[in-house]
Structure 1
Amino acid sequence: MILLRNTILIFVSALTVISCHFPVRVLSDEQIAKHYANRPAKPQLKYISYKSFHIHHAVVGDSTKPLLLIIHGAPGAWYSSMKLLDDSDMQKNFRMVSVDRIGFGKSNYGVSEPSIQAHVKYIEKIVKEYNKDGKIYLMGSSYGAPIAASFAMQHPDLVKELYLVSPVIDPSKEKLFWFSYVGRLAMVSMMIPEYLNVAGDEKFGHRRQLRRLKSHWDEITCKTYVFMGEKDNLASLGNLDFARKRLVNAKDPEFYLLPNTSHTIIFQRPDLLISFLLKRNNPLAFH
């Protein structure tokens, strides 16, 4: 009884803290359908195969316009970028694709794939499928940022603009929280949502994955924007300094530290990202 009670206490404590540190809104099919019930445009939900994986993704916008590919963090899903996808001006100016990364949403839910390169490979397939002409716009948020960056390193001829939003990219700044270890206990992992287990698996392998990218940042040559929230409690602000030092060959890179903003820039400031993508007047007066 004591063991069971202690396990339950650990579970409740861990889940509470994890939920605070990894704010994510999980939407059911019914909630998504309700959200789009009265909207003039809604995404097409599709799959593309890569090896044994089936990559679920949302597609919306003008198929004759440049491709904007959005890669979420951990945890997350295609609808993490819903505010960008739903914007009518964005729909007129881009063909937008937002993916469920492996292990999240409907892309082999619960299956962990810590390898950044594995994610890059299916991103290549999606780009080949939807990019008809010209270069693409690529956005990665949190753990999606190093995947986007790795794609840009390997395909400099394909990327016009790269957006790194709340990026987790500096291996020396990667930190494991106490609840990360608790979440790996068998009795706890069985009781928490699968997407948190997948996020935890990625977290444990992330430092090693980032080290593999460390010597390749000078291979990014496209226009690059980096955004960090001043109140980010998940990613170290050192990631912004890392980007400044490493993006030596990027075209006119811009770096922004956003006041009163946390890790979830894509939720809190979609208006800002949209302004940059559509080349409206720069709403920020500092770099």
Structure 2
Amino acid sequence: MLSFKFLRSTILFFALSASLSSCFSRYIISAKQVKKHYALKKVRPTETIIKNDTLSLCVASVGADTLPMLLLIHGAPGSLWGYMNLMDDEDLQKQFHIVSVDRVGYGKSKLKRKRFVTSIEMQAKVLLPIFALNKSDEKITVLGRSYGAPIAAKLVSLVPDQVKELIMISPVIDPEKEKFYWFSKWGRNSFIQLFLPGEFNTATAEKYSHSDELRKLLPVWQNLEVPTTVIQGGNDWIADPTNIDFAKKHIKSRRAQYIFLYNAGHMITYTHLSMIKEMLMKNRLFQDKISSIVVSNKEGSLGN
């Protein structure tokens, strides 16, 4: 009887571990996948490690460093390679020095003596050295997706004079709308974590502190003055669609714009790439008389 119970528990444990790993595997891109993706491409982003006594920060960049910088900040879990479609775009490469970063705790980025960095403020501060890579005479465009959106906002608040605009896509910013799933509590089990990808464990640690961290961020929204765009999908199962309502309520700046895509899910940077490109290249969202845009068509185009 004991052997049967042990066997059943063992099978259940490994099944649970496999299930947890597969839940977010599509958000984690392996080195093998990256190598295969760029095998036949003419241009591959240059990977660089920014180091000091306590920090290792991995970034991938493409485009001349004398062009205006576009800084890309991923969610949880995720990696800098989650923005490959933006980095690969030839039009964007000609207009921007595109820099995508592994946040601390993901990929090759880490802080010494810290396994997890759940503080939004700390996650933002460690990104400041990237600004030194801007060799252009123009300010930086900062784009953050999902859990990366509030980190992007905090980063912008630290150096607003160096930022041209802030773009938050599928943002998780409302402290009262943090979503938990059936597997969330299992991901906190220290033994199970031994069998899970490090990025998954980092994401779990962030999730259970995220609401408290977002409450600390409330003053940031009120004082945000740089031009800001919030883009939210109506069919987003990760970021509650009402996050856009939170943004409208708490961002006091008149230079904030809101786009709600009724049929979009979470990965808007992939499903609505043409819209993101148009926004970045033509800057059409920041016309003085536009305050809110609702897009219902599949492509999400803003026009020619």
> TM-score, normalised on structure 1?
0.90
Give the drift of 1:237: 1.4
**AA partner of residue 54 (structure 1):** S
2:48, 2:58 within 8 Å by CA — same for their partners in 1? yes
2:104, 2:110 within 8 Å by CA — same for their partners in 1? yes
Q: Count residues in correspondence.
A: 284
- How far apart, CA to CA, are the structure 2 residues paired with 1:169 and 1:4? 43
The equivalent of 1:207 in structure 2 is: 211
Q: 1:101-116 counterparts in 2 under 5 A?
A: 101-108=103-110, 111-116=115-120
Asked if residue 193 in structure 1 is aligned to residue 193 in structure 2, the reply is no
The equivalent of 2:75 in structure 1 is: 73
Q: 1:179-258 counterparts in 2 under 5 A?
A: 179-251=183-255, 253-258=256-261
- After superposition, the Cα gap between the structure-2 partners of 1:168 and 1:42, relative to the gap in structure 1 and judged at 3 Å, is same
Q: Describe the SS at the equivalent of 1:47.
A: strand
- How far apart, CA to CA, are the structure 2 residues paired with 1:161 and 1:280? 10
Q: 1:12-91 counterparts in 2 under 5 A?
A: 12-13=15-16, 15-16=18-19, 19-20=22-23, 23-28=26-31, 30-91=32-93
Moved more, 254-263 or 30-39: 30-39
- How far apart, CA to CA, are the structure 1 residues paired with 2:16 and 2:227? 43
- How far apart, CA to CA, are the structure 2 residues paired with 1:218 and 1:285? 21
Q: Describe the SS at the equivalent of 1:179.
A: coil
Asked if residue 278 in structure 1 is aligned to residue 281 in structure 2, the reply is yes
Give the drift of 1:23: 3.7
> TM-score, normalised on structure 2?
0.85
The equivalent of 2:300 in structure 1 is: none
Gaps of 5+ in 2: 286-291, 296-304
Q: Describe the SS at the equivalent of 2:117.
A: coil
- How far apart, CA to CA, are the structure 1 residues paired with 2:293 and 2:176? 30
Asked if residue 95 in structure 1 is aligned to residue 101 in structure 2, the reply is no
Give the drift of 1:76: 0.7
1:7, 1:188 within 8 Å by CA — same for their partners in 2? no
Asked if residue 146 in structure 1 is aligned to residue 146 in structure 2, the reply is no
**AA partner of residue 258 (structure 1):** L
Q: Describe the SS at the equivalent of 2:15.
A: helix
Moved more, 65-74 or 175-184: 175-184
The equivalent of 1:118 in structure 2 is: 122
The equivalent of 1:128 in structure 2 is: 132
The equivalent of 1:9 in structure 2 is: 12
1:60, 1:95 within 8 Å by CA — same for their partners in 2? yes
Q: Describe the SS at the equivalent of 1:216.
A: helix
1:219, 1:249 within 8 Å by CA — same for their partners in 2? yes
Give the drift of 1:164: 0.3
Give the drift of 1:182: 0.8
- How far apart, CA to CA, are the structure 2 residues paired with 1:18 and 1:38? 29
**AA partner of residue 277 (structure 2):** I
Residue of structure 1 aligned with 2:167, choices 158, 163, 169: 163
The equivalent of 1:266 in structure 2 is: 269
Runs of 4+ residues deviating >4 angstroms: none
2:70, 2:98 within 8 Å by CA — same for their partners in 1? yes
Q: Describe the SS at the equivalent of 2:67.
A: coil
The equivalent of 2:298 in structure 1 is: none
Which structure's CA Rg is the greater one?
A: 2
- How far apart, CA to CA, are the structure 2 residues paired with 1:51 and 1:117? 19
Give the drift of 1:161: 1.2
2:261, 2:294 within 8 Å by CA — same for their partners in 1? no
Gaps of 5+ in 1: none
**AA partner of residue 39 (structure 1):** K
- How far apart, CA to CA, are the structure 2 residues paired with 1:31 and 1:94? 25
